[in-house]
Structure formats: structure tokens, C-alpha cells
Amino acid sequence: MNKKDIAKRVISEIGGKENISQSWHCITRLRFNLVDAEKVNIENIKVIEGVMGAQFQNGQFQVIIGNKVGEVFEEVTAILGKEFVANAKEGNNKKGIINTIFDTISGIFNPILPAITGAGLLKGVMALLTAFNLISATSSEYVVLNIISDAPFYFLPFLIAFSAARKFKTSEVLSVTLAGGLMYPTIINYAASGEVAYLTFLGLKIPMISYSSTVIPIILGVWLLSYVYKIVDKYVPSLFKIILTPLIVLLITSVLVLVFIAPLGSYIGVYVEKFFTGLFNVAGPFAGALLGGTMPLIVMTGMHYAFFPAALSSMATVGYDIMLLPMNLVSNLAQAGATLAVAVKSKDKNMKSLAASTGISAVFGITEPAMYGVTLKLKKPFYAALIGGAVGGGTFGIFAVKAFTFTLPGITAIPSYIEQGTNNLLFALLGVGLSFVVAFVVALFLKFEE
């Protein structure tokens, strides 16, 4: 079935265009917020050729497509039309607080992942080039590459503001302007120099804090803006909306964000980062084994998005992440090992071919086709992947392995573990190798029914 037909069938079985309030996609899944979840014919969607699975998760409806998800999403967007997002209705489904938080975080981060993972991969390439003395860290070429790779992280509040505005269905332009206030050079420079601790506005103190690379302050800010905008727009006469609405919204929101919301969000990010760093310092091997072994389950439930703010905050404050990216790396390579073991062991030609292709994708960090198409379907190889991930995660925990840039956790992420003058890369290779080999061997020895 071609991509256009898949998109038509999916939308039809979801309940049609009018039942979709928002749609986006991640690396392997179409994601939808729905008006009425009861209208979905989930079993009919699961049997569509080209669909690997479908599920409700954290208030979203997700259709697992695999590596062709981007192409299918283009067809979905073509069917829904450009006016779809602006005119989308609010769904009446009750998600609960936890599901709402996960849905919000995934809806904000998924659209901007190409920018930060692409830049992260470039940083990995730069680390390789300098490690092999192919380029000097003081050369003009390196400086240019560093500008390109740093931009998405340094100006992360702008990316998040744009994406959050779409998620909260509010003005994208005003949201980006709000981010501009947080990133204004005066605040950045005062925060860096320490010359001025705070500015005052009508007796209110505005702390001089650098919000570069931060996540939580701008998410909270755009969330506040979405409510302020609705209230202001409701009471401003139609004749003056184009002038007065943005003026009043920017004044109210910017002051509240600079005085209260952004500092609070910054402190939350700092303490969340300290909590997870402290957890690995106190119980590194145990925490690593637990997270490495359960990461596929965490990803399946969408809970891994809860770690995104902490990981990015850690990157901004201490320069590395010891939790989300490293644990995902060993988990993904364990999934690859178990899947490729199925490719070796299986006697069914179709399963052998599927396991080989999805196993290779898993090596590069795209594991959902391998999970939903092979290991979960056969069950015991999935257990093997969990065991391999636990061994690799425990190894990472013992040696406190660090990831120094945000990129897709696959084999191409290995250069992001290079740290001059340390054995961080060697320990990373050890953990990755163990997770792959253990999962491969265990899957070979476990009997499974095809």
C-alpha cells in the first residue's frame, strides 16, 4: 500500500479529519490528539499494510509506521490541510495530570528533535576530527562548525517557544518574542559578568539569569501566554485587537515571566539536574542497570520525554548527560543485538529479512521497528534486550559514562562520548559492546515460537 493510501485509511479509521485536534510525528510514529477517542477503530488500523502497530499512550493516539513515517505524515498533512492546526477543536478526552504532562512534553520536543539531534551529530563529528588531529580546535573551520552546531542549543528557547505555541494553540510570533526577552543580550551579559544582580520594574525585581539552553522557563512562559492571550482577546474590542491585544499580552506575560515564571523554571531545572546527577553518584551501577534494563518499557509508555528537560538542563549546566542519552544508547544497542540474533536464528524467511533490516536500523538508534516488528512479537528476544540493556547500563553506571552532546542514541552517537584526557570513550564502547553481545547471546539461546 502506498503512503497516500495508508494516510487515508488511518485518518478514516481515526474518525475522520474532524476528530483530529492535532497531529505530528516522531522518528517512527504518527501522533494524534483526538476530539473523541471512542471513534477510533484501533483493530482496523493495526491490520493496515504498512502499519506496525497502534496504541493510546499518555492521552495521544499513536500509529507506528517505522522508517517511512515522515513520508506518510506528509500525506496526512496534505489531507488535513494547512488550516487544520489553526482551526483545530479542543478534545474532550480526560487525560489526567501525568498523561497531560507527558503529552505536552512530547508534543513540544518531537518537532524540534531534527535540529538538536542534527547539531548533536555534527558535534560528534567535530570531536572525531579533533581526536584524530584532522582539524585544530583553534582553526577558523572549527569555529564555523562550532557556531553551526551550537546554535540550536544556545537558542533553544526560540525553538521551544515556536513548538510550544503550536502545542498550546497560541500565537507563535508572540511566543518567539517572549523567548527573545529571555535571551536579550542585556540579561545574558549581566548574568555572565555578575555586575548587575537584578533590574527593577515598578518595584518588582527581575533577576539576571542566563536562560540560554534552558527548557522549563520558556515552556511555562508560553503556557502562561496562551491563557493571557485568550483572556485579553476576549475583552478587547474587534476594532482594536490587532493593536491592543499583542501590546497587552506582551506587557503582562513578559513581566510575569521575567519576574516570577522564568526564575522559578530555571531553579526547577537546576534542582532536577542535581537530583539525577546525585542519584548516579550515590547508586551508579544500580541506577544504570535499572534504567538501562527498563528503558524500552519507559520509551513504550512515553515516559522518556519526562527526562528531556533534565538532560538538556544538565548539558547546559555541567556540559554532559549521564542518564537519558547513555541509557538509551545501551538499550538501543541491546535491542539491535537481540533483533540480529533473531535474524541469525530464525528459519522463517520473512522474519529473518525483517529482523535483519530492523536490527540494522536499531544499530543506528531507531529501535521501534525492531521492537514492535520482532522482539515484542516473539517475546523472549525482548527479554534478552532488557537483560543486555541492564548489563550495559550497569557498566555505564560503574564508570559514570557521560554523553557530551544531544544526538540520536545509536552507533553514530559514539563520538559524542569523546572527552580528551579521560577513558570515557573506552568505557562507553565497553558498555555498548556488552549490551549488544549479551542481548545477542541470550536471544540465541532462548527458544521462541515464530
Q: Cα–Cα distances in Å, from 288 out to 108, 272, 276, 432, 440?
A: 27, 17, 11, 13, 20
**Is residue 199 scored above 70 in pLDDT?**
yes
Mean pLDDT in the chain?
88
> Rounded CA gap, 20 and 162, in Å?
21
Q: What does the block give as the cell for 385?
A: 534486550
The pLDDT assigned to 175 comes to: 96
**Is residue 82 scored above 60 in pLDDT?**
no
The pLDDT assigned to 110 comes to: 81
The pLDDT assigned to 328 comes to: 94
What's the pLDDT tens digit per position in 331-383? 999 999 999 999 999 988 888 998 999 899 899 988 888 888 899 888 899 99
The pLDDT assigned to 407 comes to: 86
Lowest mean pLDDT across 81-90, 140-149, 287-296, 396-405:
81-90
Task: Answer for the pair 389, 292: CB distance below 8 angstroms, yes or no.
Answer: yes
What's the pLDDT tens digit per position in 276-333? 777 777 888 998 999 999 998 888 776 777 788 888 888 888 889 998 899 999 999 9
* Residues 221-244, mean pLDDT to the nearest whole number: 93
CATH 3.30.1360.60 domain locations along the chain: 3-95
Lowest mean pLDDT across 58-67, 395-404, 418-427:
58-67
CATH code at 3-95 = 3.30.1360.60
What's the pLDDT tens digit per position in 413-440? 999 999 988 999 999 999 999 999 999 9
> Of 10, 14, 26, 116, which is the active-site residue?
26
Burial degree of 268 (CB within 10 A; 0-12, 13-18, 19+): middle
The pLDDT assigned to 95 comes to: 60
The pLDDT assigned to 87 comes to: 38
Q: Which residue has the higher pLDDT, 331 or 92?
A: 331
**Is residue 77 scored above 80 in pLDDT?**
yes
Q: Which residue has the higher pLDDT, 325 or 274?
A: 325
What's the pLDDT tens digit per position in 26-54? 878 898 988 888 899 999 998 898 888 88
* Residues 263-285, mean pLDDT to the nearest whole number: 80
pTM: 0.77
Torsion angle in degrees (nearest 10) through CA of 337, 342, 345, 349: -140
CA atoms within 13 A on the CB side of 346: 22
18 is catalytic: no
The pLDDT assigned to 83 comes to: 47
**Is residue 71 scored above 80 in pLDDT?**
yes
* Residues 109-131, mean pLDDT to the nearest whole number: 87
The pLDDT assigned to 254 comes to: 96
Q: Position of cell 513540544?
A: 108
Q: What is the DSSP letter of 34?
A: E
Q: Cα–Cα distances in Å, from 406 out to 32, 138, 334, 370, 450?
A: 26, 23, 20, 23, 37
> Rounded CA gap, 224 and 251, in Å?
13
Which SS3 state, helix, strand or coil, does residue 318 take?
Answer: coil
How much of the chain, in percent, has pLDDT values that exceed 70? 96
